[in-house]
Structure 1
């Protein structure tokens, strides 16, 4: 019971700090809107993958290049195709920013399907990668159809024909090739940052990213509060009362948990109501993730308090350490914009687990897909609490 009273006291102290409350709620909302708008081309807009202007140069007119343009590129919703009459002009237009991605098709492309040349600027690498994957998919499909056609027609030729009519054989051959070709002709759809059925917009991404980053500041706030009360001997006086050290430490943990969860809930409500951020259809999943992340943050605050003794150290961690975690965890730029090795590193950051879980919920997933992140965040929180409480207990007993 006393632990809950201590937690409520800590919560009221932080909630009545106008400057701190503004920084913890208003700033993440402002940054969400700024980054969501400024980096819309990187993450994608509310309609999915952003529109991409593609220039196409064909060195020698051929059937396969025409198929690529007509049946693939022009049928892809987010691609606008413009034909260019020379590779030099194509390169200049890309450099000038008139085109975002340029494709140069070699003269003998229809016979050997050698690699097409792609042109793009440094800030359009993601769009170029998507276009490259579309071309690769097309060439793989063509090779598959060609190989399958040769195998099937070889078997037909070797088999005893029902009719020896060349006309019938020609008709069978044409039907086989058409069926194989039609089986691969489907509109290209891109779904990113999602293991569910829906894509995630830039506004949604940065709402989750800013929430994950700013809740991390509660780690240093909680630890700093413990250090301040230690230096003013508030904790020592509290420990001299009948209140047990375990109640005190649990109360400090709960105080950070309360504030972090209320901060999450206010941010979630504000972005949903004021800015129409869609956090997903299942509100229960969002709230459960917010609570699990708040547990992790509160536990880490106790762990940090158990290993540092100076407020300056907490301030340094708040100013530098949190920013590093934010970058590695994907709160500043989408994690898929970094080298592949970053995915492994980011898995060790709690904010990345929270961020990716929120994104999965936005894209539409079931509860079963959320069990692992809930478990990881819970383990981070409780293990950190146990280690931090063990360290802090030794200073007062």
Structure 2
């Protein structure tokens, strides 16, 4: 009997949704447009940055070995287009006015002073070992350290500044090392070219593999689950509106006085909207698998992961439905539920890492993100897609999502009973 009542409640919700075909279309079409548009923008931006060169001003006042080495390294990186028809004053003006992102100014006599500095220090070291040479007997004044001037547009991203400065520091360090090796070679009279020795320590990134192919994250692996979550939580808006309509039309009063328990009414809504959430997710996945490759985007790989992802979708859907039920129960008018529901979903998406990765947020915002159900769902999707986790690996997030649903529905039932207590 209870199952029959639940079935009738489900049929009632389906009939209500059929009256708002436009709203249903928006629920399914809007997320698809979002995922396609945003993925295209992100992927195109990545490709443009990868394939284009950033124009920077390069002023060479040294015109010698070191400055030429720096220039060659910058050109070899294929990231910069060097503009050389500037002096330092003009370069500073052009960069600070926003015409170019940065300028590099090499000081005069850089190569000569570096050579003198290194020779003096090497001679002093060799002399301390009792291997004094004729050239070491001549005391030379050690020149002061030289500074390469870097000018950045005030609007330049701090990350770009740090990357450029680290790259230039690395270039100068390698050039100095080679010159130091060469100076020791000359002083000691060895025939071995020490400057050509390879670094004793290197770096090698170890990435997950699928067969013999490296598994590397891409824009699709973020956008499909992220915007699927956004779509799932956006059902808060129509769900809360329907609950408000029921109150204004007297449907909720009839539901309370009927022999069917009120929680059956809520369960009927839960099952109805849960089906919508799963359909939304499957449409998103279908776009990632079948449409994206035709748009020159990476294909969304769900091999061996579909079951786990649907489990996450079901529990994320429960969390969204619970939130919608609470909002619809508390709100008195559609003017309250609709804007608040839409705004709250956007806020949850923002702090949950849908738009900006959580690790890029300030520390206090990262703490807040840990309380967002969207963040729990997104982490669970990441664990499955990028870390190959099974159900056990995402158990914590699933439990959090389910407890969120229980808490939201529990508060809603308590509020409803209190409001209608006689």
Q: 1:117 aligns with which of 140, 150, 171?
A: 150
Q: Tell me by how many angstroms 1:210 deviates.
A: 3.8
Partner of 2:166: 136
Distance 1:144 1:94, change over 3 A: closer
1:23 aligns with 2:26: yes
Looking at structure 1, the residues matched to 49 and 397 of structure 2 have their Cα atoms a distance apart, in angstroms, of 25
Task: Give the match for residue 211 of structure 2.
Answer: none
Do the aligned partners of residues 231 and 52 (structure 1) sit closer, same or farther apart at CA in structure 2, a change above 3 Å counting? Answer: same
Which of 243, 253, 259 aligns to 1:226? It is 243
- Hey, what does 1:162 align to over in structure 2? none
Shift in CA distance, 280/89, structure 1 to aligned 2, threshold 3 Å: farther
Q: 2:36 aligns with which of 26, 33, 36?
A: 33
Aligned mates of 1:209, 1:263 — CA distance in 2? 12
Decide whether aligned partners of structure 1 residues 360 and 261 sit closer, same or farther in structure 2, where only a CA change above 3 A counts: same
Cα 1:206–1:235 change in 2 (3 A) is same
The CA distance in 2 between the partners of 1:385 and 1:62, in whole Å, is: 74
Write out per-residue CA displacement over residues 212-252 of structure 1, whole angstroms, 9 at most, x where no aligned residue: 33332212322222222233332332333332233222223
SS at match of 1:57: strand
Q: CA deviation at 1:269?
A: 1.9
In the alignment, is the contact (CA less than 8 A) between 1:257 and 1:297 conserved in 2?
no
Cα 1:142–1:94 shift into 2, 3 Å:
closer
Matched, 1:174 2:194: yes
| Within-5 A mapping of 1:143-162 | none
Indicate the SS of the match to 2:412.
Answer: helix
Alpha-carbon offset, residue 313 of structure 1: 0.9
Counterpart for residue 107 of structure 2: 107
Larger radius of gyration: 2
Instruction: Report how many aligned residue pairs link the two structures.
Output: 365
Could you tell me how far apart the structure 1 residues matched to 2:7 and 2:239 are? 16
SS at match of 1:179: coil
- Is contact 1:329–1:351 with CA below 8 Å preserved after alignment? yes
> SS at 1:367's partner residue?
coil
For 1:264, the equivalent position in structure 2 comes to 281
The answer to whether structure 1 residue 377 and structure 2 residue 401 are counterparts is yes
* 8 Å CA contact retained: 2:315, 2:402: yes
Residue aligned with 1:117, SS: strand
1:39-78, aligned counterparts within 5 Å? 44-45=46-47, 51-59=52-60, 60-61=62-63, 66-71=68-73, 73-74=74-75, 76=77
| Deviation of the 1:120 alpha carbon | 4.3
Which runs of 5 or more residues in structure 1 are unaligned?
157-164, 190-195
1:9–1:255 Cα contact (<8 Å) kept? no
Alignment CA distance shift 1:48-1:308 (3 Å): same
Q: Secondary structure at the match of 1:254?
A: helix
Distance 1:146 1:247, change over 3 A: farther
Q: How big is the shift at 1:367? A: 0.9
Deviations 1:367-397, CA, capped at 9 Å, x for gaps: 1675554444344333323333333344457
Deviation of the 1:298 alpha carbon: 1.2
Q: Counterparts in 2 of 1:173-322, with a 5 A limit? A: 174=194, 178-180=197-199, 183-184=201-202, 197-201=215-219, 205-276=222-293, 278-282=299-303, 283-284=305-306, 285-322=308-345
Q: 1:351 to 1:234 in 2, by over 3 A?
A: same
TM-score (norm 1): 0.70
Shift of 1:19: 0.6
Question: Residues 263-286 of structure 1, C-alpha deviation per residue, up to 9 Å, x if partnerless?
Answer: 222233234323336334444254
Aligned to 2:166, the other structure's residue is in SS state helix
The separation in 2 between residues aligned to 1:316 and 1:53, in whole angstroms, is 43
Hey, what does 2:410 align to over in structure 1?
386
- Alpha carbons of structure 1 residues 260 and 51: separation in structure 2 relative to 1, 3 Å: same
Q: TM-score, normalised by structure 2?
A: 0.66
